[in-house]
Amino acid sequence: MVDVSGSVKSMRPEPADTIDDRATRAYYDEFSARYEEHRRPNDRTGYHAMIDDLEIELVERHATGKDVLECGCGTGLILERVARFARTAKGIDLSPGMLSHATERGLDVQEGSVADLPFPDGSFDVTCAFKVLAHVPDIGRALGEMARVTRKGGVVLAEFYNPWSLRALVKRLGPPGKISDHTRESAVYTRYDSPRVLPKILPPGCRLEGVRGVRIVTPVAGAMHVPGLRDVLRRTEFLLADTRAAYLGGFFIAVIRNGAP
């Protein structure tokens, strides 16, 4: 096939992951205009603040003074805080729209896919992904890439959407949320992975060290707007996060050790 400029185009179909990346990129480019409306950095009491704090506390536990990569860093709200305690903090994201905000924050970010990370083997001590792997069709490939760029003895923190949770039930029963005036959350590919599948999808040479639960008892985000109840929910979430109740979290973070040091 020849286009109007005279260059030759391949007749071979594009790989499915390329098409998926394109659709996800377009979705998050559109979402980037409103992404921080309910994620204001100075709001430390709301729903998103609680979720971020549960995630960041786990990163800090493993990554203080170390080299960190966040896959799917978005606008940089988490990466900005990680950079305060890490030796180095880098981020990648598919969406130029999201990355434009991260760049404005002065963060070290670049465009890239978690399924094809643009870094050499063993570049980081900790590689993490939050709210990202749920939108990746080839989850095994993504985890393999995260492990590849993580040093031996390092840690991969991989967050999944949990079908065994109150959040999943609410999502099934309610209409998809809006990301813009024209698009809803249902427009992007989304997967749910139960904790029991973890042993089947771990990259070779990796072992599961633990699981942290996020949003275990909080029924809906709006509950965090209720004075009094908000404080109770927050305290309870932190108390339960590293117990067996973690397996009921709306999100669960697998702590994966990459081989022996």
> Per the domain annotation, does 9 fall within a domain?
no
Q: Is residue 169 part of a domain?
A: yes
Q: For residue 185, what pLDDT is reported? A: 86
Question: With bands split at pLDDT 50, 70 and 90, how would you rate the model's confidence at 174?
Answer: confident
CATH of the domain at 102: 3.40.50.150
Q: Is 210 a member of any domain?
A: yes
108 pLDDT more than 90 = yes
pLDDT of residue 27: 83
Distance in angstroms (rounded) separating the CA atoms of residues 141 and 37: 32
Residue 12, pLDDT > 60, answer: no
Select the more confidently predicted residue: 3 or 146: 146
pLDDT at 243: 97
pLDDT (0 to 100) of residue 105: 96
Half-sphere exposure of 95 (CA within 13 A, CB side): 23
pLDDT class for 187, splitting at 50, 70, 90?
confident
- DSSP element (H, E) containing 254: strand 251-258
- Which pLDDT band holds residue 13 (cuts at 50, 70, 90)? very low
Instruction: Please count the other Cβ atoms lying within 10 Å of the Cβ belonging to residue 40.
Output: 12
118 occurs within a structural domain: yes
The predicted structure's pLDDT at residue 31: 80
Each residue's pLDDT tens digit, 216-240: 999 998 899 898 999 999 999 999 9
pLDDT, the chain, mean: 88
Tokens 């990554």 label which residue? 63
More confident residue, 244 or 40: 244
Residue 87 sits at φ, ψ, to 5 deg, of: -70, -50
Binned at pLDDT 50, 70 and 90, residue 175 comes out as confident
Question: What is the pLDDT confidence band of residue 261, given thresholds at 50, 70 and 90?
Answer: low
Domain hosting 175: range is: 16-258
CA–centroid distance for 90 within its chain = 14
Angstrom distances, CA of residue 172 to CA of 60, 108, 134, 148, 168: 33, 37, 15, 35, 6
Confidence of residue 163 (pLDDT cuts 50, 70, 90): very high
- Asked if 33 and 72 count as a contact pair (C-beta separation under 8 A), the reply is no
pTM: 0.89
Assigned domain for 36 exists:
yes
In a domain, 3, yes or no: no
Q: How many domains does the chain have?
A: 1
- Percent of the chain scored above 70 by pLDDT? 89
Instruction: Enumerate long-range contacts of 219-225, CB under 8 Å, 24 or more apart.
Output: 219/166, 219/170, 220/170, 221/38, 221/47, 221/48, 222/47, 223/47, 224/45, 224/46, 224/47, 224/50, 225/46, 225/47
* pLDDT at position 259: 86
- Asked if 124 contacts 68 with a C-beta cutoff of 8 angstroms, the reply is yes
Residue with tokens 């786990």, as numbered in its chain: 58
* pLDDT digits 0-9 by tens, 23-47: 888 888 788 888 787 676 556 678 9
- Give me the pLDDT at residue 30, please: 83
Asked if the structure places residue 111 within a domain, the reply is yes
The whole-number pLDDT of residue 15 equals 41
Residue 1 forms part of a structural domain = no
